[in-house]
């Protein structure tokens, strides 16, 4: 299968996982009220486990960090632009937080790693590259700055405001993972390998849990009323960000594989963590869910198109 076809196929898989959640809601096995509980499981346990494993095992190479910095640069531009537009539209604090997060951060942790696994046939070299670029280019900013935005935009559990977000399990996992990676400690020793195995299996549940919380947050929405926000948000997320990254890659001329991986990670749809953060901290989870779903649907078209430029 071509790069473009593989990309489109994986996006459809994620949409089908959201569809499974909607079916479980229809059958009465799940209820919308359970979205907050699933979000708490993600932010307090599953996400920290996955982040620690990925970051701790990363052995940064300069060229990969450079690729990560390119994506991070595009995200900061997207953050600034979406914040200015959101304020111009007089969005409420909770809506502004969801709008900014879904316009700025892509889904590398939830979709990106699995996407690379499928597209590049499980190549260890590509997965290692994607781990470093994805975690340090998107994961760390989203799980620190994005988490702070989600907490400040919400109406509950601000943990003291200011730098209180530094006490959250997600940020602690990032810091511990970086410390472990820099220490050079091996993760293959008997007891340590068992710990990493347990954390890895826990983190493996994240893609479906993210799809679940997105499906649980969905309700009947006047999509025509939301069309302007959807159009602006996805113009930034799915067109503007990849465009900035493509321009930077054109100027730097990295190796072909590095360019392909970086561009695909920059073009991913909005992170479902925006929904989890909104659910967890009292933000506008319904708006976040609508923007995430629309972003994922649109990426069926935009991601394969971006893959053509890779």
Domain layout of the chain by residue ranges: 3-309
Q: Which residues of the chain have pLDDT under 70?
A: 1-8, 58-63, 109-110, 113-114, 117-118, 121-125, 127-128, 156-166, 220-221
The phi, psi pair for 106, rounded to 5°, reads -90, 175
- Give first-to-last CA distance, the chain, whole Å: 16
Contact 109, 139 (CB under 8 A): yes
- Tokens 């302007």 map to which residue? 228
CA distances from 101 to 3, 39, 92 (A): 28, 16, 14
CA distances from 122 to 5, 117, 127 (A): 16, 4, 7
pLDDT digits (tens, 9 = 90+) for 146-177: 888 888 887 765 554 445 556 777 778 878 88
- Tokens 């506008």 map to which residue? 284
pLDDT digits (tens, 9 = 90+) for 186-206: 777 778 888 888 988 888 787
- Which CATH architecture group holds 3-309? Up-down Bundle (1.20)
The phi, psi pair for 270, rounded to 5°, reads -55, 145
Predicted confidence at residue 5, as pLDDT, reads 64
């Amino acid at each position: 299968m071509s790069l473009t076809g593989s990309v489109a196929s994986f996006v459809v898989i994620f949409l089908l996982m959201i569809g499974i959640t909607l079916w479980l809601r229809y059958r009465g096995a799940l209820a919308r009220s359970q979205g907050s509980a699933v979000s708490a499981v993600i932010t307090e346990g599953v996400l920290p486990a996955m982040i620690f494993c990925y970051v701790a095992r990363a052995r940064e190479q300069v060229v990969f960090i450079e690729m990560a910095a390119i994506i991070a640069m595009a995200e900061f531009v997207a953050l600034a632009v979406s914040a200015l537009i959101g304020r111009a539209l007089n969005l409420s604090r909770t809506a502004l937080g969801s709008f900014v997060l879904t316009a700025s951060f892509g889904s590398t942790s939830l979709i990106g790693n699995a996407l690379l696994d499928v597209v590049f046939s499980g190549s260890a070299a590509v997965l290692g590259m994607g781990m470093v670029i994805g975690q340090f280019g998107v994961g760390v900013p989203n799980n620190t700055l994005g988490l702070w935005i989600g907490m400040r935009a919400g109406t509950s559990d601000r943990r003291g405001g200011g730098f209180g977000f530094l006490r959250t399990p997600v940020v602690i996992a990032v810091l511990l993972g970086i410390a472990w990676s820099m220490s050079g400690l091996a993760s293959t020793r008997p007891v340590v390998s068992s710990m990493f195995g347990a954390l890895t299996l826990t983190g493996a549940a994240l893609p479906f849990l993210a799809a679940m919380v997105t499906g649980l947050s969905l309700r009947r929405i006047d999509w025509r009323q939301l069309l302007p926000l959807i159009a602006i948000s996805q113009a930034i997320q799915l067109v503007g960000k990849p465009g900035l990254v493509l321009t930077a890659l054109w100027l730097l001329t990295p190796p072909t594989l590095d360019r392909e991986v970086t561009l695909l990670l920059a073009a991913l749809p909005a992170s479902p963590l925006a929904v989890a953060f909104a659910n967890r901290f009292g933000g506008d989870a319904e708006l976040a869910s609508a923007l995430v779903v629309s972003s994922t649907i649109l990426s069926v078209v935009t991601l394969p198109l971006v893959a053509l430029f890779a």
